[in-house]
Amino acid sequence: MDILTQQLINGLVLGSIYALVALGYTMVYGILELINFAHGEVTMFGAMICLAVIGAFAGSGADMHGAIIVLFGLLAAIAVCVGLGFVIERVAYRPLRRAPRLAALITAIGVSIVLQNLAMLIWGKQYISFPPLLPLVRYEFGGAVITNLQIFIMILSCLLMAGLLLLIKRTRLGRAMRATAQAQDIAGLMGINVNTIISLTFIIGAALAAIAGVMVSAYYGLAHYYMGFMLGLKAFTAAVLGGIGNIAGAMLGGLLLGVIESLGAGYIGTLTGGFLGSHYQDVFAFFVLILVLVIRPSGLLGERVVERA
């Protein structure tokens, strides 16, 4: 039983990170019907910027509490990623907004490759370690262990997601975003500046991605230039699982995917009698993606949309 609890904890922490990244995919899809494949790379940039700032602080020999240095790193990561999100939309997607959707999709993949290589040029090809700035505290209950970092990741993710839901459901900006998602042209006629709303969507997604990137690198203790690829793919799966375009769906999908992966990797060996090993962990994410696409293409919380392409 304690093992099951532990696997659930592992899964929920991983899942809340997936959920944060998945929100970026789903928000952009909701408004533009574009799968922003560069989103995973924005997450990677968040981690890298944070580590660069932390490294600079460590190099300057400033005597500060570890948490404050990480906070600075996080803020810098958010700032840079927000800029990055804005520029990506402006340079890569806006000129193609009226182009066939396939063109935008290919551009997204292109942007992702460009960002990955850019990061490789700036920070090199090797793994960068997250310095042990945050003292790790373990809490044990019923045989399972949870660390302060895991608790922090889950709480912060929940707060961010709740904040985002409030923003979208309760504020003028949120209403403008929903209107733009429903019908861009009509929203424009109603006096909504569609371009600003789209830019803001990218910016909010990028900020969440930056935070997720910092969380991942702090959680696993390392970052590297292609970490965004797999993370992005998993988050995309989570978004599809929950119903792409649906905010609550992305959250649910992320958490579910994390738990499925964790339980899957933990029990597959025993369940299949050693036929399939735990190295099939990543396969679960994509197996789930295929299942969802076959059985319920609109996702768990998605609504059926008439195919427009």
Partner 1 sequence: MDGPRMTKWAVWAFTIALSLSACGQKEEAATGTTTGEVTVRIGQVSPLTGPQAHLGKDNDNGARLALDEINATGVTLGGKKVKFVLVSEDDQADPRIATIVADKLIDRRVAGVIGHLNSGTSIPASKRYHEAGIPQISPSATAIAYTAQGFNTTYRVMTNDLQQGRVLGEYAVKKLGTQRIAIIDDRTAYGQGLADEVEKAAKAAGGTIVAREFTTDRSTDFLAILTSIKARKPDLVFYGGMDAQGAPMVKQLHSLGIKAKFLGGDGVQTFEFLKLAAVDAEGVTASSPGLPLDSMPGGKEFREKFTAKYGVIQNYAPYAYDAAMTLVEAMKKADSAEPAKYLAELPRIQRAGVTGPIGFDERGDIRGGAITLYQVKNGKWEVLETVMGGAGQK
Binding region for partner 1 (CB under 8 A):
3, 6-7, 10-11, 14, 95-96, 99, 120, 124-127, 129, 131-132, 136, 138, 140, 145, 147, 220-222, 224, 226-227, 230, 261-267, 269-270, 274, 277-279, 281-282
- Contact assessment for residue 111 and residue 38, using Cβ atoms and an 8 Å cutoff: yes
Supply the minimum distance, in Å, between the C-beta of residue 108 and partner 1: 16
Nearer of residues 90 and 175 to partner 1, judged by Cβ? 90
Which of residues 220 and 291 has its CB atom nearest to partner 1 in the complex? Answer: 220
Q: Which is nearer to partner 1, 163 or 221 (CB)?
A: 221
Sign of the Cα pseudo-torsion (289, 291, 292, 294, in order)? positive
How far, in Å, are 71, 130, 149, 157, 215 from residue 67 at the CA level?
Answer: 6, 13, 11, 18, 13
CA-based nearest residue to 25, from 213, 196, 270, 254: 254
Q: In whole angstroms, how close is the CB of 117 to partner 1 at the nearest point?
A: 10
The answer to whether the CB of 115 falls within 8 A of the CB of 229 is no
Listed in order, strand segments (DSSP E) in 176-267 are 222-223
Residue 223 backbone phi and psi in degrees, to 5: -145, 150
Nearer to partner 1, 61 or 135 (CB): 135
Q: Nearest approach, Cβ of 189 to partner 1 (angstroms)?
A: 26
Least gap, CB of 292 to partner 1 (angstroms): 21
Nearer to partner 1, 149 or 301 (CB): 149
| Two structure tokens written together for 139 | 């809490």
Cβ neighbour number for residue 61 with a 10 Å cutoff: 6
Q: Shortest gap between Cβ of 5 and partner 1 (angstroms)?
A: 10
Residue 145's DSSP bridge partners are 140
Residues 6+ apart with CB under 8 A from 194: 180, 184, 187, 188
Q: Minimum Å distance from CB 48 to partner 1? A: 15
Nearer to partner 1, 9 or 197 (CB): 9
